[in-house]
Amino acid sequence: MFKKSELERRLSLKTEEEREALRAALHRLQEADQINRVKNGRFGHRAVAQLVVGKLAMTKQGLGFVTVDGTDEQVFIPPRFRGMAVHGDTVEVSLFAQPTRQQEEGDKPEGEITRVIERGRTDLVGTLEKSKNFFVVIPDDRRIARDVMVAQGALNNAKPGEKVIVQIETWGVGHLSPEGRIVEVLGRAGEVSAEIKSVVSEFKLPLHFPREVSEEAERLPDVIPHEEIVRRLDFRQQYCITIDPEDAKDFDDAVSLEWLPGGNLRLGVHIADVSYYVKEGTVLDREALQRSTSVYFPNMVIPMLPERLSNIICSLRPNEDRLAYSVFMTLTSKGVVTEHEICETVICSKRRFTYEEVEHILSGGEDSSVPAPILERLHAMQELASNLTKKRMKEGSIDFDSAEAKFRFGDEGEPTEIIKKVRLKSHRLVEEFMLLANQVVAKHGGQAKKEEQQRPFLYRIHDSPDPDRVRELAVFVAQFGYKLSLEGGVRSKQLQHLLEQIKGTEVENVINEVALRSMAKAIYSDQNIGHYGLAFDHYSHFTSPIRRYPDLIVHRLLKEYAVGMPLRRREEIRTRLPAIAKQSSAMERVAMEAERAAVKVMQVEYMKRHLGDEFEGLISGVMRFGVFIEINDLLVEGMIHVRDLEDDYYLYDEKSYALIGQRKGKRYRLGDTVKVKVIRVNAEEREIDFAMVTGETAPPRRASQRRRR
């Protein structure tokens, strides 16, 4: 413990400026809870906690890490110190003594799990198998590295080889396995319907709404009350249109465009007014917060709101009166917003377009069914959207163009075709208008007129990338002959320049994916730090309240601010927003992971029919144990295990992202184009194995046995 005067003497501080700097540093450390201040004005080290609490996350390779609650700190858990904890559990960890040597950057403290505080889940999805004298469920999730024993009387008529949900009754002690009972049979393991059900269960997605939620939705009126119409801006006679995917049912945005005297344009972005129907604190609202987002599988949707709301009452269907919340923006021909207005409206969409229909028109095609005023507006919208894109790119916005797959299905629900989605001019048109509306709303919502404090608001934020990851990206792209300048820190403009260079090249998808992985994740927050990727100082989500809860919150806040929000209410909102942002961000991550898993199920099902077929592909990943290949146009990723590279003994070169043959020098490098054959497909593991095709190919190996743990 030292007094400030002692610290000044030991640090040989002579001037008042130096002593003031020390005072400021001590204050900052105390505020950050990194030092203690005790009686008599002495300062000292904080005691380091030997017990910490956090959530255990396992990797598929069997490594365990506990993220300490309230921090970004991670503790590594060696396998023999994991006890009975499994992935997702909240645990107590006793930290090991730190080594006396100076830790290298990146080293993590280690510890032992001493107690499981809360189980991450009480049931698991897996495949039932029978050994000689017992039944066992092998979990689908590889991070759950323990099989579950099931007694004969707890099978619930399940048969070996079926996909099931097993309820855990005891997690076991010592070396004993967990025990459970089967509560649901999903179907035959490997069948597409069973595998999709297993994804739903694995991610705890609710297929059905609670009875009270459905009943509340059913009580909502079909007809808009007259008094509500007269209270709003009546925009029903204007040319509003919707542009959506061919199979869409929840139309939550419409657009309009009008010409103003002097050459300016008035762009209207009209969003379904869900907040009129879903009131704060109702059972509908609580359920929507819990779900936070709709989840889109290739063959189904798990909606945030009941179908009566999402597909009927709120959906901006053509030629039907609908309540909307509209942003009207006055723009110059170059896309500069000079003024805006946000108001409640009633609209009537004059036409429901698909992206393909609009693309046909914008490319010079004819459609006699479309009235001339709408055709004129579509072409003007395209010109405006093009100018908005140019403006956004000039300001440093990064335009990641990630490829997506779309499926066509047969009569039995099986995927019969995989189509690579093409980004059309019509997609960009809608994207630009939505981006602009979200940007305008965020700036409007958080600004405080003649007030010292920012108004509480919910933002969509994106932090700048970690410098180390950007340096790794620069090294990675250099091997393909591209340069990412790191001078003065990486600005979004520099990344944008890199993506422009690779556009249309064979390595575009690979570099896009690596660049995306180097980025921070966009999240929801009540604290605005801007959006790095879009190069926006203000950004929120306003345009999809049918399928995203943060958009619904933003609508409510804007409405309250429009009429005046009392100070007490403002503080209540300020207190609640962090939890809403955290829940929404967490459920968004769950939805993304579930959607990826469902796409993988469909890809695996499709590739079952192509065993032995050959494809052109690109090396999309290189690891010690093999290389990942993405099939061109299909976007199906599979793997070639090192054991299947039989022409040489291969070593992994981490710096060049390559496997190199020790004798012949054959090199398999990230981004290389290769020809492969499908040799194994495992639907239960969602895995596809390839073999290289180089002249005479070796006969496919026999499919490997199902894993055991």
| Lowest-confidence segment of 44-48, 141-145, 165-169, 235-239 by average pLDDT | 44-48
Confidence of residue 92 (pLDDT cuts 50, 70, 90): very high
pLDDT of 707: 34
- Closest among 650, 636, 572, 652 to 604, alpha carbons compared: 636
Average pLDDT, the chain: 88
Name the residue with tokens 């710096």.
655
End-to-end CA distance of the chain: 52
Question: What letter represents residue 294's amino acid?
Answer: S
What's the pTM value of the predicted model, to 2 decimals? 0.84
**pLDDT for res 65:** 94
Mean of the pLDDT values across residues 511-527? 88
Confidence of residue 425 (pLDDT cuts 50, 70, 90): very high
CB 156 within 8 A of CB 166: no
Question: What CA–CA distance (Å, rounded) separates 64 from 56?
Answer: 7
- Nearest residue to 626 via CA among 613, 637, 611, 610: 637
The secondary structure element, H or E, covering residue 369 is none
For residues 541-569, give the mean pLDDT: 96
451 exposure class (CB count in 10 Å sphere: 0-12, 13-18, 19+): exposed
Query: Taking the CB of residue 29, how many other CB atoms lie within 10 A of it?
Result: 15
The structure tokens listed for 608 are 């079952």
Backbone angles phi, psi at 422, to 5 degrees: -105, 130
Q: Is residue 708 very low, low, confident or very high in pLDDT (cuts 50, 70, 90)?
A: very low
Q: Does residue 105 register a pLDDT over 60?
A: no
pLDDT score for 674: 92
**449, 561 in Cβ contact below 8 A?**
no
For the stretch 429-448, pLDDT in tens is 999 999 999 999 999 997 75
> Is residue 544 scored above 90 in pLDDT?
yes
For residue 141, pLDDT over 50 is answered with yes
SS (H, E, C) 479-502: CCCCCCCCCCCCCHHHHHHHHHHH
403, pLDDT greater than 80: no
Query: Is residue 123 helix, strand or coil?
Result: strand
pLDDT at 49: 59
Supply the pLDDT for residue 698.
Answer: 38
DSSP of 208-231: S--HHHHHHHHTS-SSPPHHHHHH
pLDDT at 706: 33
For residue 387, what are the CA distances in angstroms to 260, 392, 429? 18, 9, 10
- Binning pLDDT at 50, 70 and 90, where does residue 501 land? confident
CA gap 442, 534 in Å, rounded: 14
- Quote the pLDDT of residue 703: 32
Which residue carries 């995203």 as its tokens? 548
pLDDT at site 704: 33
556 or 414, higher pLDDT: 556
Check residue 584 and give its pLDDT.
97
Across 3-12, 161-170, 234-243, 655-664, least confident range: 3-12
Least confident of 93-97, 278-282, 313-317: 93-97
Does residue 1 have a pLDDT over 70? no
**Cα separation of 1 and 24, whole Å?**
18
DSSP of 577-590, one letter per residue?
A: HHHHHHHHHHHHHH
Q: Is the pLDDT of residue 100 over 90?
A: no
Range of 221-230, 504-513, 627-636 with top mean pLDDT: 221-230
- How much is the average pLDDT of 239-244? 96
Identify the CA nearest to 298 among candidates 633, 588, 602.
602
* Helix ranges, 203-299 (H): 211-218, 226-231, 274-277, 283-291
pLDDT at 242 over 70: yes
Lowest-confidence segment of 45-54, 253-262, 374-383, 685-694 by average pLDDT: 45-54
Determine the average pLDDT of the residues in 116-125: 91
Beta bridge partners of 325: 271, 344
User: What's the farthest any 2 CA atoms get from each other in the chain?
Assistant: 88
Q: Please, are residues 167 and 122 in contact by the beta-carbon 8 Å criterion?
A: yes
Q: Which residues are 95's β-sheet partners?
A: 111
Retrieve residue 532's tokens: 């790095």
Confidence of residue 200 (pLDDT cuts 50, 70, 90): very high
- Domains for the chain: give ranges and CATH numbers: 2-45 (no CATH), 51-118 (2.40.50.140), 123-189 (2.40.50.700), 213-370 (no CATH), 426-597 (no CATH), 610-692 (2.40.50.140)
Spatial separation of the C-alpha atoms in residues 407 and 405, rounded to whole Å: 7
Q: How confident is the model at residue 42 (pLDDT cuts 50, 70, 90)?
A: confident
Q: What percent of the chain has a predicted confidence (pLDDT) above 70?
A: 93
Which amino acid is it at 176? L
Q: How confident is the model at residue 32 (pLDDT cuts 50, 70, 90)?
A: low
Contact call for residues 72 and 92 (beta carbons, < 8 A): no
Please tell me the distance from the alpha carbon of residue 456 to that of residue 620, in angstroms, as a whole number. 43
Q: Sorting pLDDT into bands at 50, 70 and 90, what band is 179?
A: very high
Burial of 635 (0-12, 13-18, 19+ CB in 10 A): buried
Q: How far apart are CA 48 and CA 35, in angstroms?
A: 11
Query: What gap in Å lies between CA 195 and CA 99, rounded to an integer?
Result: 47
Which DSSP string do the residues of 322-349 spell out, in sequence order?
EEEEEEEEEE-TTS-EEEEEEEEEEEE-
